[in-house]
Structures are given as structure tokens and as C-alpha cells.
Amino acid sequence: MIPCPALSVTRNIDPAMSCELILGGARSGKSRHAEALAGASGLAVTVIATAEGGDAEMSARIRRHQADRPAHWRTVEEPLALAAALRREADAGRCVIVDCLTLWLTNLLAGAETLPPEAGADALPRFRAERDALLDVLPALPGEILLVANEVGLGLVPETPLGRLFRDEAGRLNQAIAARVPRVSFVAAGLPLRLKG
């Protein structure tokens, strides 16, 4: 297989940087893998949770995730200002899990349904500012950073313009982060496959 030049570009990465992007589908085991890595790190762990409990089912999911984590792990809820939360929480003696980038992206795309189809997500000022802030802060973060994200490009093409916009932006975000971090894994059926690093 010939690698696509646009996807194989890797930015200059500080070899001391300890950051991993963990991709996978729904219920693939990606969060569990991130939690296992965090537990094995021997560091204090903080989870930055991006989900919002908009309905009873989502609230129950959030409670299940919280109950599955060790009680001594700290949880910070941040649905939008992820770069600022990472700047506050990342520390040389800490492992930070971001779970997950895909829900964060969903939160940032609120209001995108009102955009003309040709506008794209960059027409949303908050989306553009928060995405750029995250990409800028990643190389400077101390400690261990584990970023969990869904791989949404393996299924059917979404039927709606908003669904296609979400799928496209999720793919672009995953590619941009993968180019900036030293390690990338893909999890399927609970089994991690190292893609980079």
C-alpha cells in the first residue's frame, strides 16, 4: 500500500512529549484502554470529561463511566474549553485522560445546522478558536496525556448535511492530533493496535 502523502505528514514532535491519541468505534474498549494506561502510569490521574447529560440515557452513561473509574481519580467536567482545562490540569506528576474528543466536537458544533452547506464548521467562531487552541497547546503539555476519540469514518455516509459535517470534522480533528502526538492507537474488540510510536 502506498501511503497518502497528506496523511503521513508528521509535525516536529518533542521526543519528551508523552501524549497518545486512542481511537476506536463505539464500545470498542478505547476508554477502558486509556484507563488501563493511566492506572499503569503510576501517576495521579485526572479525567477531563466532555460529555453533557442532556437526557436520562446520557446521564446514566456518564454515571456508569464515573462508577467504573477508581474512586481516587479526579474528574473535571469541561464540555467546551478543553485547551484551557488541559493547561490547568496537565502536570509532570499527573496523567490526564480526555474522554472524549468526539463529544467535545459535538458540543462545539452546536448551531452548525443553521450554516449554509458550503460554509463549513470554520464559520463557527467558537469551534475554530477552541480547535486551534487545543492543537496549539498539545505540544507544550507536561505529564502523560491520553486523548480518547471515536473513529467515525468507517461506517455509512451520513444522510444529513450536519451528519456529514460532523463526520468530516471528526476525521480532520483526528488527523491533526495524530500528526502532533508521538503515539496513536486504534482499539477494536478491546484490543489495541499501535498505529504510531
Domains in the chain and their CATH numbers? 19-196 (3.40.50.300)
Q: Is pTM, for the whole model, over 0.95?
A: no
Report residue 153's pLDDT band, with 50, 70 and 90 as the boundaries. confident
- Which one, of 109, 81, 92, 94, lies nearest residue 47 by Cα? 94
Residue 17 is predicted with a pLDDT of: 65
Residue predicted with more confidence, 180 or 124: 180
The active-site residue, picked from 65, 128, 167, 196, is 65
HEC string for the chain: CCCCHHHHCCCCCCCCCEEEEEEECCCCCHHHHHHHHHHHHCCEEEEEECCCCCCHHHHHHHHHHHHHCCCCCEEEECCCCHHHHHHHHCCCCEEEEEECHHHHHHHHCCCHHHCCCCCCHHHCHHHHHHHHHHHHHHHHCCCEEEEEEECCCCCCCCCCHHHHHHHHHHHHHHHHHHHHCCEEEEEECCEEEEEEC
Q: Is the pLDDT of residue 179 over 80?
A: yes
Cell of 38: 493511566
The pLDDT > 90 percentage for the chain reads 66
- Nearest 5°: the CA angle 153, 98, 78 is 110
119 is annotated as contributing to ligand binding? no
- Which one, of 166, 195, 154, lies nearest residue 178 by Cα? 195
Residue 146 is predicted with a pLDDT of: 98
52 is annotated as contributing to ligand binding? no
Residue 77 is predicted with a pLDDT of: 94
Known catalytic membership, residue 65: yes
Cell of 140: 507544550
Mean pLDDT score of the chain, rounded to an integer? 88
- Which one, of 171, 180, 99, lies nearest residue 136 by Cα? 180
44 is annotated as contributing to ligand binding? no
- For residues 15-28, average pLDDT: 88
- Nearest 5°: the CA angle 20, 143, 10 is 40
90 is annotated as contributing to ligand binding? no
Residue 53 is predicted with a pLDDT of: 79
Q: Are 173 and 105 in contact (CB under 8 A)?
A: yes
The predicted-structure confidence for 24-65, as pLDDT tens digits, reads as follows: 999 999 999 999 999 999 999 999 999 887 788 888 887 888
